[in-house]
Every structure is written in C-alpha cells, then in structure tokens.
Amino acid sequence: MKFDSRQSIAIMGFAGLMAASLSGCGGGGGAVSAGEQQAQVTSFAVPVTKDNVGAIVGQDFRFSSGIQAVDKVTGEAISIPPTTLTVSASAESPSGYAFKMAFEDGTDVSGNFGFGSCIFTVVKSTSLNKSLTEGEKVTIDACKVGLNGQYAVTNQEAFNAEIMATLGSSKTDAVRAPVKILVKEDKGTVIINGQSVGDTRLEFVTGSTGAGG
C-alpha cells in the first residue's frame, strides 16, 4: 500500500521509556474525513545507541521521581534522587559523549556516557550518593527513547513533539523536540532532533464518519 505525502498520520506512541507524547494536536488525532486514509503507530520505543544518541543530545531530561534501576553488571539496586540528565558530545570521552546529572540540592555528577546499555562512568562528583562517587561506573540496561500519544501529522513534515526517556523503571518528564515521520509503505522511520531512531510498523485506517481519533 502506497502512502501519499498529502495524507496524514495519526501518531500513537508507547506507554513504555526513554517514550514520547506528541503535542502538536493537543492530544487528539484530528478529524478524519470519510474515505481519507491515516496511518497509526503504537508502542514505539528503541534502545539508545551510538547510532541514534543524537536524538537526545542537548536535551535536559528531568527525572522528577528520581531513577530506580538495577546495575546490569553488579546486580546492585540503584536509587538516584530527582535529577536532570543531559547528554552532550565530548571530545574527551572515549565514546564521544558525556553526561551530567544535576540535583535539587545543588550537587552534580558528570562523566563519560557509554553504550551497550547506557553506561555512566563518573569523573567528577559532588553527590553523596554511593552509586555516583568519582570512579564509579553504573550500567543501566533499560535505556530507551520513543514516542507516545495520538496526533495527526503530514508525511515528511517536521512538527514539534514531546519526547521522553527511560532508565530502568523510571521515566522522564516530557520535553519538546522536532519530530518527523518518513513513510515507506507500511513502515515509518521516526526522526527526532534530526536523528533517525528507527523504523516502526504503521497500520492504515480509513475514515467512515468524518470524526477523528
């Protein structure tokens, strides 16, 4: 089935992580005229890798309830208080990327950000959290980014959306970022912040009553 650029896409995202809630249409899919085709996507989330990390670089992700996870290597429980996580490009990091966690008490942690899970190697720390002292390495396996919500967009046309990240069992508050969907028959390539994060299956529906959603 071919999909014309004039047709619209109703984006419906996952309730899972690093998830995203698109806000371009205020939470609704918009009116669907009788005979009009729309594509629908559900439960989209992907692990953060070096190939798609550009989708989160420069974004301030707020974990308002903190981070709860289990270290993939040591098996130890990790409990981090509410924090804002930022990933940035870094020529000094072996992976080419660094991280910073800023806490409500004014302390912070920074270091190298690695992949194959999300790996946080602490280089500098003013935090008293035992998992985040200098020299510690924390490996969190559940580390994803994705889309969430129901919205109408135009094929290949960028629009502002809300994205979320997940670490362990903890999700971030949503942040806004440009998103674009490239439609290829029954699949769509999701692009966040100009970075392709992966393909997801599309389901096509046809409006019959003229009512959206």
Q: Which residues contact 98 (CB under 8 A, 6 or more apart)?
A: 87, 88, 89, 90, 92, 110, 111, 112, 113
Instruction: Determine the Cα–Cα distance for residues 172 and 23; give it in Å rounded to an integer.
Output: 16
pLDDT per position as a tens digit, 153-163? 557 777 777 88
- What pTM was computed for the model? 0.78
pLDDT per position as a tens digit, 102-137? 999 999 999 999 998 999 999 999 999 999 999 999
Would the pLDDT of 183 be above 70?
Answer: yes
Instruction: Determine the Cα–Cα distance for residues 134 and 29; give it in Å rounded to an integer.
Output: 47
| Identity of residue 169 | S
pLDDT per position as a tens digit, 71-106? 999 999 999 999 999 999 999 999 999 999 999 999
Confidence of residue 42 (pLDDT cuts 50, 70, 90): low
Would the pLDDT of 63 be above 90?
Answer: yes
